Amino acid sequence: MDPHLLTTFVTVARHGSFSAAAAELGYTQSAISQQVAALEADLGLALLRRRPVEPTPAGRRLLEHAEPLLLRLRAARADVLRTAAEPRHLLRLAATPLAVNPVVAARLAEARARQPRLEIRLRMCRAERLAALVAEGRADLGLADGIAAPSDPLRLPDAGPMTTTGVTEEDLVVALPAGHPLAGRASLRLADLIDARWLRTPLCPPARLRDLVGEGFPAGLEYEGDDVRTALNLAAAGHGLTLLPASAVPAGGGGGGGVCAVPVAAPRLVHRVELLHAALPPGAAADLVAALSG
Amino acid sequence: MDPHLLTTFVTVARHGSFSAAAAELGYTQSAISQQVAALEADLGLALLRRRPVEPTPAGRRLLEHAEPLLLRLRAARADVLRTAAEPRHLLRLAATPLAVNPVVAARLAEARARQPRLEIRLRMCRAERLAALVAEGRADLGLADGIAAPSDPLRLPDAGPMTTTGVTEEDLVVALPAGHPLAGRASLRLADLIDARWLRTPLCPPARLRDLVGEGFPAGLEYEGDDVRTALNLAAAGHGLTLLPASAVPAGGGGGGGVCAVPVAAPRLVHRVELLHAALPPGAAADLVAALSG
DNA sequence: CCAAATTACGTCGACCGTAAGAATC
DNA sequence: GATTCTTACGGTCGACGTAATTTGG
């Protein structure tokens, strides 16, 4: 179970070819063959079927383990090395699309006002990748958003020891087309919407939606992008409902096409933004964390 | 970052001695010294201060990563090997103290009635260790209990890809001494108890309690065991309140000393039991999982 | 001065590359 | 028969043990 052999195995499985893996890793075919053989000998069972090269059941199981394992290994290395890094003034921030709400943006501004030398590079990414980015040190700080019960932490993929801090919580609303029968309501319950069509978008993770609304709700349009205005336009046009933080839906229901935001009364849920970071690089990071935490 | 070197490093740190680690691992002092040196050279920084032997800040950080990392490595190996294991009729079950409630016990009985050859060895353990036990294959199935919002999964330490299934959810009650001012109430809110003294016991994880009740509640007695009757007796005697599943508190408020169980009305919480398992060993396991899932 | 970690050095084994040998499409 | 993986074999480098050396209490 040497990580070295594990990466080789993963690469071979991904390419479906020993020679391609050899090319990528800078080894000869022969070495790859020996490494795979060594791993199989170590475990005492076949991991790959040859010609065509594809994982056996045991191999598939190992693949499920190997990826997070290697991620955590890289994360550990990055985290330890960070303790000896020199101070930086450029902070690389990674955020999910809905994480930079007005409050977060304002706090970032405060921090920059207090620390003129502070530079921030903000990069967007999906929630699943965010923890990995931060863990591996490819981002210094992460801002993740999600739906949770009030004061409950978000469920983020575990990529090793990391600090998570709640930043904001705000009301959750359902974005309805202006003409929808429930559009005028002061609030509604998700249970009332069990038959509604939902917009499938990474803005509101489908897995979470399934938990909340129930299994097998009729799927509306699937929008693979993460632009909020596009999602709102789609919602306004009746392609499906969306769960969004209140601040993401323009007030008054005006705008282009008319969406109406109705707060979710039950279950009690909030849209939560969380800050996550591994060991902080010395420098401006600690101040920014403090500023964001409020 | 060879796991081999990592285990050596962890062992040295735990013993605070190179020679002791050498004895445990079956190496010479010299080898240990070289291994630690190799790890430090690889990372480019000191991990241990010598004489006395204790971790540097970077070393402490690495230790935080190393333990879960090595656990996951063992877990991966065990999981893959299990795919090739021969069928077993003895199932090793691990459970947290409150997980085997009447419903779970009844379902276990059903399964045994249907499968006469099925043997079950039940072993108790704390929640923190349960996921590790199952992941490493030292138990085939795990039954974990905890407090969560209705239909929300439990927060278990992540020890790799595992299947979790909800088994039961039941009401959560506060165990109050019979004479307590709130004892007669039909229900109460946790917010009402913010100033109460709580019994600190692994039966109700203190971390979770802090989340629910708030920071810095006055700590009552700390009970390190996990016997429910003892906890009830302590609660009856006024040492502090406890959150328990309804079925754990004898009805009628009678019993030895008098505790009164008052359901928790807000926040909406349940006591949840979850079944977790990695790859199922062939044999009776799948049936048992089905029986427990209801 | 003693216990304990480091360094020096020799040996053995692991791993990779070259090259020849199977196996499958 | 060509491509692709496997096996054979030799060289190199790394890892461990023995033993001498240094360091710190």
Tens-place pLDDT, residues B1-10: 999 999 999 9
Query: Is B54 found in the same domain as B20?
Result: yes
- Residue A27 CB lies within 7 Å of the nucleic strand C: yes
Let me know if residue A165 belongs to a domain. no
Query: Is A14 found in the same domain as A146?
Result: no
Find the CATH number of the domain harbouring B131. 3.40.190.10
Let me know if residue A283 belongs to a domain. yes
Q: Which residues pair with A274 in a beta bridge?
A: A144, A166
Percent of chain B at pLDDT > 90 equals 51
Let me know if residue A260 belongs to a domain. yes
Taking one residue from A and the other from B, the number of pairs with CB-CB distance under 8 angstroms is 100
- A243 and A270 Cβ atoms separated by less than 8 Å: no
Residue A120: give the domain boundaries: 90-159+275-292
Q: Which residues of A touch B152 (CB under 8 A)?
A: 149, 211
A89 in helix, strand or coil?
coil
Query: Is B283 found in the same domain as B147?
Result: yes
Let me know if residue B76 belongs to a domain. yes
Mean pLDDT lowest among A90-94, A175-179, B104-108, B172-176: A175-179
Q: Do A151 and B79 touch (CB under 8 A)?
A: no
Find the CATH number of the domain harbouring B55. 1.10.10.10
Q: Which residues of A touch B72 (CB under 8 A)?
A: 65, 68-69, 72
Q: H/E element holding A34? A: helix A29-43
Which residues lie below 8 Å from residue B119, measured CB to CB, with a gap of 6+? Answer: B89, B90, B91
In chain B, the N- to C-terminal Cα span, in Å, equals 45
Q: What is the pLDDT along chain B (294 residues), one digit of tens a residue?
A: 999 999 999 999 999 999 999 999 999 999 999 999 999 999 999 999 998 999 999 999 999 999 999 999 999 999 999 988 888 888 999 999 999 999 999 999 999 988 888 899 999 999 889 999 999 999 999 999 999 888 888 988 888 889 999 999 999 999 988 888 888 888 888 888 877 788 888 888 777 777 776 666 666 788 888 888 898 888 888 888 889 999 998 876 555 568 888 999 878 889 999 999 988 877 778 888 999 987
A29: nearest nucleotide, CA–C1' criterion: D5
- Our measurement of the distance from residue A18's CA atom to the centroid of its chain's CA atoms, rounded to an integer in Å, reads 32
Q: Which residues of B touch A151 (CB under 8 A)?
A: 211
Model pLDDT for residues B189-235, shown as the tens digit of each residue: 888 887 778 888 888 877 777 777 666 666 678 888 888 889 888 88
B198 in helix, strand or coil?
strand
Let me know if residue B164 belongs to a domain. no
CA–CA dist A274, A98 (Å, integer): 11
Query: Is A261 found in the same domain as A201?
Result: yes
- Residues A102-115: what's their mean pLDDT? 91
Q: In B44-154, at which residue ranges do the beta strands (DSSP E only) sit?
A: 48-49, 54-55, 90-95, 119-124, 141-148
Query: Is A279 found in the same domain as A155?
Result: yes
Query: Is B71 found in the same domain as B202?
Result: no
Q: For chain B, how many structural domains are there in total? A: 3
Query: Is A120 found in the same domain as A187?
Result: no
CA–CA dist A101, A162 (Å, integer): 23
> Which nucleotides along chain C are within 7 A of a protein C-beta?
4-8, 15-20, 23-25
Out of B44, B81, B150, closest to residue A43 by CB: B81
Query: Is A267 found in the same domain as A190?
Result: yes
- SS3 of B232-263: HHHHHCCCCEEEEEHHHCCHHHCCCCCEEEEE
Query: Is A153 found in the same domain as A15?
Result: no
The shortest C-alpha distance from A182 to chain B (Å) reads 26
For A280, the closest chain B residue by CA position comes to B61
